[in-house]
Amino acid sequence: MRLQMVSDFDTDGTGPLFLMFHGYGNDESEMVRIIDAVYAGTGEKPDYLSFRGTYARPYMGGHYWYPDGCGVDERQRECAAVGEALTQLLNAPTFEHRRKVLIGFSQGGYLSYRLAKAHPYLFDAAILLSPSFQGEIGAQLPDSHTRFFLAYGSLDSTIPFQDQINARTVLESGRDFVHHKYPGMGHAICDEEIADIRAFLTAHK
């Protein structure tokens, strides 16, 4: 698998390197808009690799990481394939010294969770924004130094409420975890969420 992406990073940078994964039907620019909002007004520039979903959505445009409505085994298989390609990329000397932060929305949030679970000592943090979480009932995180940020809107009807509860239950088993629920927000991103992501990152510089 060859991952397609857009990137903006300083090879001599010392800050976090963001590895970003968009939601179903979108593309790599979705996450760039989000991380640019997080850093707006700070005087700092984020370093990132923002990846395009593995599959193009026919007729409708956009991309996705796994087919909508597919089974748990297929979801996990697709995420593992992305993880294999990503770890090969990150083995390059350019990236080995960087703190690596996963950030994903919806499908990309679930993918980020699976990457952190499969590679527990590779990523400094994982920011999971309205992640899909089907099929993870009873899952446990391995021993890991990854910090997790989880967020949902109170009116998110795209992700079943039980899956949202399960996401929190699973991630609470980790070493470091924060959870946010945004009143009145659906399956989306809000200004308060952007501020909370900024605070999460600032607290762990």
Kindly state whether residue 158 falls inside one of the protein's structural domains: yes
Is 83 inside any structural domain?
A: yes
- What string of DSSP letters covers 43-73? S---EEEEEPPSEE-TTT--EESS-TT--HH
Q: pTM of the entire structure?
A: 0.96
Indicate whether 38 belongs to any domain.
yes
* 131 lies in some domain: yes
Contacts by 32-35, CB closer than 8 A, 24 or more apart: 32/6, 34/103, 34/105, 34/129, 34/189, 34/194, 35/103
Token couple for 108? 């990309």
Please give the Cα distance from 143 to 154 (Å, whole number).
30
Per-residue pLDDT, 121: 92
Answer for the pair 148, 180: CB distance below 8 angstroms, yes or no. Answer: no
Classify residue 9: in a domain, yes or no. Answer: no
Q: 192 lies in which domain range?
A: 14-202
How many folded domains does the chain comprise?
Answer: 1
In this structure, what CATH number is given to the domain that contains residue 80? 3.40.50.1820
Q: Please indicate, yes or no, if residue 92 is contained in any of the structural domains.
A: yes
CA atoms of 107 and 203, how far apart (whole Å): 26
pLDDT digits (tens), the chain, 205 positions: 789 999 999 988 888 999 999 999 999 999 999 999 999 999 999 999 999 999 999 999 999 999 988 899 999 999 999 999 999 999 999 898 899 999 999 999 999 999 999 999 999 999 999 999 988 888 888 888 899 999 999 999 999 999 999 999 999 887 789 999 999 999 999 999 999 999 999 987 6
The reply to whether 1 falls in a domain is no
Task: Examine residue 6 and state whether it is found in any structural domain, yes or no.
Answer: no
For residue 205, what pLDDT is reported?
67
Angle between helices 29-39 and 191-202 (to 10 degrees): 70
